[in-house]
Chains A and B, each alone.
Chain A
Amino acid sequence: MLEQLLEAVAGESGFDLDTPFEELADEHQRLVLYGTGDRELRVNDRLIARFRGLVPSIEETSRLSSRFRKRVGRILRDLPCPTCNGGRVNAEAAAARFRGRTIVELCSEPLSETAAFFSSVELSEREHDLTGEILEEITRRLRLLDEVGLGYLTLNRSAPSLSGGESQRVRLAGQIGSGLTGVLYVLDEPTVGVHPSDNERMLQALKDLRDLGNTALVVEHDEQTLREADHLIDLGPGSGPDGGEVIASGTPNQVMRRKTSQTGQFLAGELQVPVPAERRPVSGPPRNGDPQEGWLSIIGARHHNLRNIDAHFPLGVLTCVTGPSGSGKTSLVNEILYPELAYHLHGAQDVGGPHRRILGLEQVDGVINIDQNPIGQTPRSSPVTYTGLFDLVRELYSMLPEAMVRGYGPERFSFNKKGGRCEACEGMGRRLVEMHFLPDVWVECEECGGRRYNAETCDIEYRGRSIADVLEMTAGEALEHFDRFPRIRHILQTMVDVGLGYLPLGQPAPMLSGGEAQRVKLARELAKPARGHTVYLLDEPTTGLHCADVLKLLEVLQRLVEAGNTVIVIEHNLDVMKVADWIIDLGPGGGDGGGEIVATGPPEDIAASERSTTGPFLRAALERSRREQPQWQAVSRPPARSDHRAALEALAEDTQRPWERDGRAWHLGPETPTGEPRQWEAGALETFIELAASALGLEDADWADRQYVRLYRDGEGDWVARARTDRQWDVRLQIRAPKGIFEQSRLEQALKLPTWDEIDDLPRYGKRPRVRINTRSRDYDLITVWGFFEHEICSQAFRQMVERALQPEPVAVVAE
């Protein structure tokens, strides 16, 4: 249909669908993009259509619903406007110059340079009268932006392209500029993505705010910020259910003296991330762009501000990429290295930013980017599903005696399938309410109260907790709860190891922070069988982590390295830098002031570097730190599948499935396995089995299956007769008869079974005969009868059919 419609568009306008877009005539390109307007095309004699064109239909659909807006967002790219080349102003405005510079030029250079330009301007008296105040204001505001560490940004950067930390600091600069007093400012982790060298300026900005007569309340993990605060409030002692109390409150010195405060102990230097006494050895980096064993090299990187640099990453160690904001870390690692590895190793679509060559690929088997993007968009996705934990837990619940007695399989415990879930919310626990002009909102399902399951499913408990309770447990609680199951424990342990012990297992994906999503991904990777020769990339994994959790995270990263992998992290956190085996420091500044490799080597080399902005901070951190040789372990292997089975079977030891325990009761009982009342007559099934068993000379049938009752010739081999009993409105009886002895219309006449339509009072409909012969098999004819009433099966004709069909097999006579 789509082809027909497109053909009509092309045919009517006189172009060919096989012509690439770039080669189409202008008018045809315009038509593809902007449509045929009100003109109606005749597609065929039964269909007319207007073609909207790509641009209007994308605009139109993204107005229709927020779901489309998101989906369409994925296929749209922002490009500079062709008329103004992205300058945003028309030709007259763009031509106006101040001291030789246009507004477009001034807005497209790093604002630290713009600021320098304006402060260097000297004005004549007349000029001063005209523009003096404006110029002062411009200079002042630019200086404020520079002071909060944003000097590398250009003034024309669009707001959505700024990171959370950057936009927070832009607003901060605006606030300081406003000169308001008596205001309470609340900031959440303003140091995220900020290099230690910019930190000081940012802190100064906060102090300026305070000195103007305001209050600044900052949620922060950054050590320097904590030290310089006037007052600290430490919450804890642990996370999740183990937290929620004020542990210490006072000046940093007072908090340091509080032994129960982890934060205090860190500030006092009692608790600290020790520096390894010996780092992993790294051979000297390659020179002049030759490939070298043990190194992965990007040659001639020119993306964004990178200045045609060669970056060499040592394999099999922990490498940290550092540098001030805007120095080019993301451009190098996430926009060249990752896409190139993914392209070459996994056949991904995107290619990396501009660079000449990449060397050393043959030494790497795979690449995993553990980014901060959400693990899913709907509440169906959560840590428990994403890590693969839920499959194991559902299996466990299906092996519980009560579940087995009721015949619940693992699918019964899925909130994505009908059966066990709450149907009102289709297992989401929440419902999406579309709001006019506003983003859609999720509200809790009133039917299940957010539990996602129906009441029967919640009846099944393991150690007093239902499957719905499991979703509300934190990873730490679950670790205790499931301690008998090695594979479950293994995944939960990795979650705890990455600092997610406090996280509820069923927390919906959209409600995870970027840092949490990143650590959930990390946990999933860690729980997998070790692969070795894999490159793991992480951008600021310590975001949102307390010092104690940073320690845990580092432990985990080291384990990955011990298992033979390469870990590359972009970090501003000095605790991570100082334990790295190798550092690549970009800089010296941000934007055009960066894009070079300033120093590279073990942390001690960076600390000694004259040019590196990172150096002095690292030197201080190294001096403060204890040295000790840690005992890293390689990531532990997942426990064997067989151990897990054994644990599950121990659970189910003496419990038999209901059909194993008493097959007759299961198949003839008043309800189908899905809980609907069984409508067909039990006598119909019993009679059929009796007839077939006696024709085969057997005592009884095999009743020990969930769906079928089967009979075998001589009690073995393939079944020759069976009944399917799990449907509400019919019991399906089948016999494999020798070929050619029955004929459809004769059998219909003999059995005289009315069609469903001819039986009154049954909500089962159909005009087709209820006995059918399928002759497609080479070896037998399959007779199927849709049974319902006992008396139909008791008829003389039915008995004869069964006996003829199941008569002893004729002995084959082998010709001499």
Chain B
Amino acid sequence: MSGREYEFPPAALFEPIAICPYRERSVRVDGCLGDWSESEILPALGELAGGEQYATLRSAWNEHGLFLAVEVEKQEPIVTNRQTPSAGDAIELFIDTRGARSGHRATQFCYHLVILPTGPGSGGQEPVIWREPIRRSLQRSPEPDFDAIRVAAGLGDDCYAMELAFEPDSLHGYEPAEGLRIGFAAVIHDIQRGRQYWGTAPDFPYERDPSTWSLLEHGPPDP
């Protein structure tokens, strides 16, 4: 279900570049969004893709890495499916650490990551993250350094939150710096409410074509 039907996707009219603000103190990756500020919420690009808008994304960066948070409203209990992530609650991230937006084929800087808010870990409570291969890549990117990627989930009765921190070099070629632009898109899955997109749109071949992702620009440190 792709939500609202459109003749022509408004997302195709623009190449958005969202500002990822600088923050002095690193985010505590604990699944609780208390230490994020209002100004770190990403613009609601999901509206361009149509469908229900039930998730909010936040981002920030500093020398210690890139921080992301996704907050998802839930009506039904969380379910996850490791085999078919789209058959449950899941978040897909698409990151191109060079953010060129020119080629239609993935390079060694492109990643497709899948994150489940709960999973098979101890007691099923730990979130799970893995990387999916990107079809038709020109070059396959090196395996992410999962020790340098921190993930935490906070599970509530009517929402869940995911926090992620990518340390420098956790993804090939990622070196946070002012003005850096990375390719970025996200797809949030919820079987009841359909998919919510950020920075790309349904029917775009975003799973294989990095030119369909938006850009995230690392903003300047506050004066």
Q: Interface stretch among B16-24, B61-69, B92-100, B142-150?
A: B16-24
Which residue of A1, A45, A64, A436 contacts B212 across the interface (Cβ within 8 Å)? A64
Stretch touching chain B among A49-57, A266-274, A632-640 = A49-57
Let me know if B205 and A46 touch, CB within 8 A.
no
Of A43, A57, A75, chain B has the most CB atoms within 10 Å of the CB of: A57
Chain A residues whose C-beta falls within 8 Å of the C-beta of B84 in the assembled complex = 423
B19 interface neighbour in A46, A68, A763, Cβ under 8 Å: A46
Closest CB-CB distance, A594 to chain B, in whole Å? 36
Chain A minimum-CB-distance residue to B153:
A765
Q: Does B221 contact A (CB under 8 A)?
A: no
Chain A contacts for B123, CB-based, 8 A: 760-761, 763
Q: Give bound CA distance, A68 to B84, whole Å.
A: 25
B8 to A64, Cβ gap below 8 A? no
Given A1-B43, A74-B7, A49 and B14 touching (CB < 8 A)? Answer: yes
Residues of B within 8 A of A766 (CB): 155-158
Q: How far is the CB of B202 from chain A (nearest CB, A)?
A: 10
- With a cutoff of 8 Å between Cβ atoms, the chain B residues found around residue A40 in the complex are 17
In the complex, what residues of B have CB within 8 A of residue A763's CB?
A: 118, 123-125
Q: Mark B153-186, 1 if CB is under 8 A from A, else 0.
A: 0011110100000000000000000000000000
Bound-complex Cα distance A768 to B77 (A): 13
**Residue among A50, A67, A436, A765 making CB contact with B15, cutoff 8 Å:** A50
Known: A65-B205, A68-B203, A729-B77. A47 touches B18 (CB 8 A): yes
Chain B's nearest CB lies how many Å from the CB of A5? 6
> Is B45 within 8 A of A1, CB to CB?
yes
B87 touches which of A49, A423, A756 (Cβ 8 Å): A423
- In contact, B217 and A48 (Cβ under 8 angstroms): yes
Q: Closest chain A residue to B208 by CB distance? A: A434
In contact, A2 and B47 (Cβ under 8 angstroms): yes
Chain A nearest CB: distance from B53 CB in Å? 10
Are A49 and B16 CB-contacts (below 8 A) given A765-B156, A768-B157? yes
Hey, which chain B residues are within 8 Å of A761, CB to CB?
123
| A121 vs B182: C-alpha distance when bound (angstroms) | 68
Q: Judge if B10 is at the interface, Cβ distance under 8 Å.
A: yes
Tell whether, in the assembled complex, residue A75 and residue B156 are in contact, meaning their CB atoms are under 8 Å apart: no
Cβ contact within 8 Å between A65 and B12: no
**Which residues 46-68 of B sit at the A interface, judged by CB distance below 8 A?**
47-48
- CB neighbours of A765 from chain B (8 A): 77-78, 118, 125, 155-157, 160
A29 sits at the interface (CB 8 A): no
Q: Is B204 an interface residue (CB 8 A)?
A: yes
B43 touches A67 (CB 8 A): no
Asked if A60 lies at the interface with its beta carbon under 8 angstroms from chain B, I say yes
Please give me the residue from chain A that is nearest to B79 by CB atom.
Answer: A763
The reply on A58 being an interface residue by CB < 8 A is yes
What's the interface size class on B, roughly?
A: 35 or more
Q: Say yes or no: is B209 at the interface (Cβ < 8 Å to chain A).
A: yes
Binary interface encoding of chain B residues 180-223 relative to chain A, with 1 for a CB under 8 A from any of its CBs, else 0: 00000000000100000000000111000100100001000000
Give CA–CA (A729, B77) in the complex, Å.
9
A61 interface hit (Cβ, 8 Å): yes
Flag if B13 contacts A71 (CB, 8 Å). no
Residues of A within 8 Å of B87, CB to CB, are 423
Q: B207 — nearest CB in chain A belongs to which residue?
A: A434
Chain B residues in 8 Å Cβ range of A434: 205
C-alpha gap A52/B212 in the complex (Å): 13
Q: Which bucket holds chain A's interface residue count? A: 35 or more
Query: Are B8 and A58 touching (Cβ within 8 A)?
Result: yes
- Closest A residue to B117 by beta carbon equals A765
- Within the complex, the shortest CB–CB distance from A30 to chain B, in Å, comes to 15
CB distance from A311 to the nearest CB of B (A): 34
Whether the pair A46, B18 counts as a contact (CB closer than 8 A) is yes
Query: Which residues on A sit within 8 Å (CB–CB) of B3?
Result: none
Q: A65-B204, A768-B156 are in contact. Are A52 and B13 (CB under 8 A)?
A: yes
Q: A2-B48, A65-B203, A72-B8 are in contact. Are A764 and B19 (CB under 8 A)?
A: no
Asked if B14 and A51 make an inter-chain contact with CB atoms under 8 angstroms apart, the answer reads yes
Q: How far is the CB of B161 from chain A (nearest CB, A)?
A: 11
Task: Decide if A757 is an interface residue (CB 8 Å cutoff).
Answer: yes
Residues 1-36 of B, flagged 1 when their CB comes within 8 A of A and 0 if not, give 000000111101111111101000000000000000
Is B44 part of the contact surface with A, judged by Cβ < 8 Å? Answer: yes
- Minimum CB–CB distance from A1 to chain B (whole Å) comes to 4
B residues 117-142 with Cβ under 8 Å of A? 118, 123-125, 136
Q: Does B151 contact A (CB under 8 A)?
A: no
* A47 in contact with B204 given A729-B77, A763-B118, A767-B156 (CB within 8 Å): no
> Restricting to A729-757, which residues have a CB under 8 Å from any CB of B?
729, 756-757
Alpha-carbon distance A47/B219, docked complex (angstroms): 11
- Which one, B15, B19, B47, B204, contacts A45 given CB within 8 A? B19
User: In whole angstroms, what is the CA distance A60 to B124 when docked?
Assistant: 43
Tell me, in angstroms, the Cα distance from A434 to B44 when the chains sit together.
30
Are A5 and B14 in contact, with the CB atoms below 8 A? yes
Do residues A67 and B203 form an inter-chain contact, with CB atoms below 8 A?
Answer: yes
Q: What are 25 A-B pairs with beta-carbon distances under 8 A?
A: A1-B43, A5-B14, A43-B43, A46-B43, A47-B18, A48-B17, A49-B15, A49-B17, A50-B15, A52-B13, A52-B15, A58-B12, A64-B212, A74-B7, A75-B7, A418-B191, A423-B87, A436-B136, A760-B123, A761-B123, A765-B118, A765-B125, A765-B160, A766-B157, A768-B158
Nearest 9 A/B pairs, CB to CB: A766-B157, A765-B155, A1-B47, A48-B17, A768-B157, A50-B15, A47-B43, A57-B12, A763-B124
Other A-B pairs, 17, CB within 8 Å; known A50-B14, A50-B17: A2-B47, A2-B48, A5-B16, A5-B48, A47-B17, A48-B17, A52-B15, A57-B12, A57-B13, A68-B203, A71-B8, A71-B203, A75-B7, A763-B124, A765-B155, A765-B160, A766-B156
